[in-house]
Amino acid sequence: MKKFKEKTKKEELINKVKETIISKKMIDNNDRIVVGLSGGPDSVCLFDILIHLKPILEKEYNISYELIICHINHMIREEAIEDINLAREYSEKNNIPFFLLERDIAQIAKENKISEEECGRNIRYEFFNKVLKESNANKITVAHNKEDNAETVLHNIIRGTGLSGLCGIKYINGNIIRPLLNISKKEILEYLKENDIKYNLDITNQTNDYTRNKIRNNLIKNIEKEYNPNFINAITKMSETLNVEKEYIDSMTRKVYEEIIIQKENDKIIMDISKFKLFKEAIKNRLIILCIEEVLGTTKGIEKIYIDDIKLLLENSITNKKYLLSNKLQVLISKKNRVEFKKI
The model's pLDDT over 8-17, given as tens digits with 9 standing for 90+, comes to 778 899 999 9
On average, the pLDDT of the chain sits at: 92
Quote the pLDDT of residue 140. 98
Cα–Cα distance between 56 and 151 in angstroms, integer? 32
Residue 3 pLDDT exceeds 70: no
Binning pLDDT at 50, 70 and 90, where does residue 76 land? confident
Residue 183 pLDDT exceeds 90: yes
Binning pLDDT at 50, 70 and 90, where does residue 208 land? low
Cα–Cα distance between 252 and 280 in angstroms, integer? 12
Give the residue among 259, 154, 265 at the shortest CA–CA distance from 217.
154
Residue 1 pLDDT exceeds 50: no
Residue 4 pLDDT exceeds 80: no
Cα–Cα distance between 84 and 86 in angstroms, integer? 5
The model's pLDDT over 222-242, given as tens digits with 9 standing for 90+, comes to 999 999 999 999 999 999 999
Helix (H) or strand (E) holding 41: helix 41-61
Identify the weakest region by mean pLDDT among 49-58, 146-155, 312-321: 312-321
What is the longest distance spanned by two Cα atoms in the chain? Answer: 82
- Write out the DSSP string of 78-117: TTHHHHHHHHHHHHHHTT--EEEEE--HHHHHHHHTS-HH
Give the residue among 248, 259, 255, 273 at the shortest CA–CA distance from 333.
273
Please report, for the chain, the start and end positions of each structural domain, with discontinuous segments joined by +. 9-236, 265-343
Quote the pLDDT of residue 259. 95
Identify the weakest region by mean pLDDT among 96-105, 181-190, 205-214, 323-332: 205-214
Mean pLDDT of 135-147: 97
* % residues pLDDT > 90 (the chain): 78
CB 47 within 8 A of CB 74: no
Q: Which fold has domain 9-236?
A: Rossmann fold (3.40.50)
What CATH code is assigned to 265-343? 3.30.465
CB 175 within 8 A of CB 138: yes
Report helix, strand or coil for 320: coil
CB 312 within 8 A of CB 306: no
Quote the pLDDT of residue 160. 82
Residue 78 pLDDT exceeds 80: no
Mean pLDDT of 128-151: 96
Cα–Cα distance between 7 and 61 in angstroms, integer? 21
- Write out the DSSP string of 236-273: HHHHHHHHHHHHHHHHHHHHHHHHHEEEE-SSEEEEEH
Mean pLDDT of 34-49: 97
Mean pLDDT of 310-338: 89
Length of the chain: 344
The model's pLDDT over 270-313, given as tens digits with 9 standing for 90+, comes to 999 999 999 999 999 999 999 999 999 888 878 888 999 999 99
Asked whether the CA dihedral 71, 73, 78, 81 is positive or negative, the reply is positive
Residue 34 pLDDT exceeds 60: yes
